[in-house]
Chain A
Amino acid sequence: MSAVGGAAGPVLQVEDLRVRFQRRGEVATHAVDGVSFAVAPGETVGLVGESGCGKSVTSLATMGLLPKRGVHVSGSVKLDGEELLGAGDRTLRKLRGKDMAMVFQDPLSSLNPTVTIGTQVVEVLAEHRGMKGDAARREAEDLLDRVGIPDPRRRLGEYPHQLSGGMRQRALIAMSLACSPRLLIADEPTTALDVTIQAQILELLRDLVQGSGTALVMITHDLGVVAGLCDRVHVMYAGRIIETAERRDLFARPRHPYTGGLLASVPRLDGGRGAPLTPIRGSARDTIPWTQGCAFAPRCDVALDDCLVEVSGSEVELADDGAGRQLRCRHPLTPAVPTAGAHP
């Protein structure tokens, strides 16, 4: 376990989280397969991986937002030491929006189109802080102002479609911060935005987190976001964490071939025109179950026979690799290998 955290202990402690989707008469899918991580107060942790690697499901399971039917969640998710898995709907509703909040990927579809921004901010204040009328309105105005929305009074009376993309995401962030949560999960918060707006939103998140000691979980496929924001990074593949490291360490010397591939596939400005990109071959679908070997082996350039359980007789375990790094690989890249795209 990555026991990060100060004397106060971690805000979020996820242990051996497993999420299985199963519909009647169909084969079960293990979307999340034994994921463990912790986030300390004020710390920003990144969950990185391609679409379908289980990072979003991990966050939804943490918030208790997965549908009930056909979904089996096991393991442990603790918020400030309180177990969330198996907690009742009422308990979770009291925690969500107040102690833990979430910002989603697409700000337009994440806002109710028929309700004003004001109402959507005020309803959080009403639910968790019992605020009403003018007081709630003023607080909402203040929140919009804090996330950098100009002319907040006017914006309160407007509908989501009247705001720009960046403004909408700011409004969503304002809602999530309304009760100064201990934990904030941001699921690809910048993916749907322009590059210039992305930077602004990331900076906003960083400022807000640094000022308040909120623990931030950043879910992304974008290594640029990781480089700019995260203290610690967990790289996920096929539902499992395959490498965990401090941000600088990870960028300076990735050890898992998948992490190395991710870094190498980022286009470089100094690579010269026409320099070929180096993608990871295949797609996230070319995978084998972890019970048969390393799920990444079919796409891995350095895979050997003993990456398969058939040959080695055991599954590849996530093991400590010294210096706060964990690794799930039998043939890691040597530290000496110069890495492309390194960007501390």
Chain B
Amino acid sequence: MLRFIVRRLLQLVPILLGLSLLLFTWLRLLPGGPAQAALGERATPEDIERYNQVFGLDQPIWVQYLKFLGRAVQLDFGNSSRTGRPVTTEFLERFPGTIELTVFAMVFAIGLGIPLGYLAARKHGSWIDSTSVIGSLLGVAIPVFFLAYLLRVVFAVDLGWLPGSGRQSVRIDATHVTNFYVLDGLLTREWDAALDALLHLVLPGIALGTIPLAIIVRITRAAVLDVVNEDYVRTANAKGLATATVRRRHIIRNALLPVSTTIGLQTGLLLSGAVLTETVFAFGGVGSALKDAIDLRDYSILQGFILILAVVYVLVNLLVDVSYGLLDPRVRVK
């Protein structure tokens, strides 16, 4: 098991090297450099030259890359060209927001998806079944920015039931310890701040959780339909076990194997930044930061954030594989 984990972690090295090289050249192929973006269209060539000199952008690209690599291994990704603050600081400030949003979205998707999928399978062929199949198709098909926009307009702007932008209301004077706003509120016993932060998660969380929800419903439904026809479920019934025991130990337990993989992969995807959703809700997470950085050609932010997110994604996937071994004894590595 340990060897498996180490081997997977070592695989990170070539992945990160390749990704960083790709990112580095790709970003510099974008039309309009950071100087242009920062100084505006009317900047003189001299201004631009001075700007490039200050940020080291006048050096050959391979020199820039090697310098970048050298600092990156020390977790220094440079400073944001917009705020002038270190990329790592920016990331640590924004990532908790994305984590909170991901957790909310996944709790929503799992909490609704597994029961719905199970119900659809048990009532196979009924209206509940067809409704959830059609619903999950719609869920996957609806563009997330459209859904996010719709939710915001209806529930935040028109009805005014829920906050529609930001992570916390401005009027709330909250103390931030960890940058997880909900958690901060709980830690400092500022209950109103925690509730306010939680309410801010609802609309973007639902928008973000819809695709995972739809996928989880479908996978759960298919898995349960598979498992109820397994011989061991017949054995369990032949043993005269109570319906609840058969359901819990023999059907759901096995049906959740494929579902758990899906949950892990979806969590990894959401964690790596929900650019569209965060932008619609002006949610101060990693996603909206990436969007701003692209607008401003903020190379340092883009390179740093994307590389860190890649590491997060690989780690989450590793976690999925390891936990799969815990769930299914057949793949447990000795």
Binding site for B on A (CB under 8 A): 63, 65, 89, 92-98, 101-102, 104, 106, 109-115, 119, 123-124, 127-128, 159, 161, 172, 175-176
Contact = CB atoms under 8 A, between A and B. Distances in A.
A112 B239 contact: no
Given A65-B234, A114-B330, 15 more contacts: A65-B237, A65-B238, A94-B240, A98-B240, A101-B239, A102-B238, A109-B230, A110-B231, A110-B235, A112-B236, A113-B254, A114-B328, A119-B249, A124-B241, A127-B245
Contacts of A95: 240
B250 interface: yes
B86 to A, nearest CB: 47
B327 A114 contact: yes
Given A112-B232, A112-B236, A93 B241 contact: yes
A102 B239 CA distance: 8
A63 B245 contact: no
A338 to B, nearest CB: 42
Contact of B253 (A109, A114, A127): A114
A172 B235 contact: yes
Contacts of A111: 232, 235
B329 A113 contact: yes
A204 B219 CA distance: 42
B74 interface: no
A112 B249 contact: yes
Contacts of B230: 109
26 contacts: A63-B238, A65-B237, A92-B240, A93-B240, A93-B241, A93-B243, A96-B237, A96-B239, A97-B239, A97-B240, A98-B240, A101-B239, A110-B232, A112-B236, A114-B329, A115-B250, A115-B253, A123-B241, A123-B249, A124-B240, A127-B239, A127-B240, A127-B241, A159-B329, A159-B330, A161-B329
B257 to A, nearest CB: 7
B62 to A, nearest CB: 53
B2 interface: no
A173 to B, nearest CB: 12
B329 A101 contact: no
Interface residues of B, number: 23
Interface string B200-229: 000000000000000000000000000000
Contact of A127 (B242, B254, B329, B330): B242
B245 A104 contact: no
Contacts of A96: 237-240
B242 A110 contact: no
Contact of A112 (B238, B243, B254): B254
Interface string B299-334: 000000000000000000000000000011110000
A95 B234 CA distance: 15
A57 to B, nearest CB: 13
Contacts of B245: 123, 127
B238 A97 contact: yes
A106 B329 contact: no
Contacts of A123: 239, 241, 245, 249
Contacts of B254: 112-114
Contact of A113 (B234, B238, B240, B330): B330
B276 to A, nearest CB: 38
Nearest to B230: A109
Contacts of A102: 238
A321 B239 CA distance: 39
A113 B232 contact: yes
A135 B241 CA distance: 19
Nearest to B238: A102
A110 B236 CA distance: 9
B260 to A, nearest CB: 12
B225 to A, nearest CB: 13
Contacts of B250: 112, 115
Contacts of A63: 238
B112 to A, nearest CB: 25
Contact of B239 (A89, A109, A124): A124
Given A112-B232, A114-B329, A161-B330, A101 B238 contact: yes
A113 B329 CA distance: 8
Given A113-B254, A114-B254, A127-B245, A104 B234 contact: yes
A114 B254 CA distance: 7
A101 B236 CA distance: 11
B265 to A, nearest CB: 21
Interface in B132-155: none
A56 to B, nearest CB: 11
B231 A106 contact: yes
A114 to B, nearest CB: 6
Contacts of B249: 112, 115, 119, 123
Nearest to A175: B239
Nearest to A106: B231
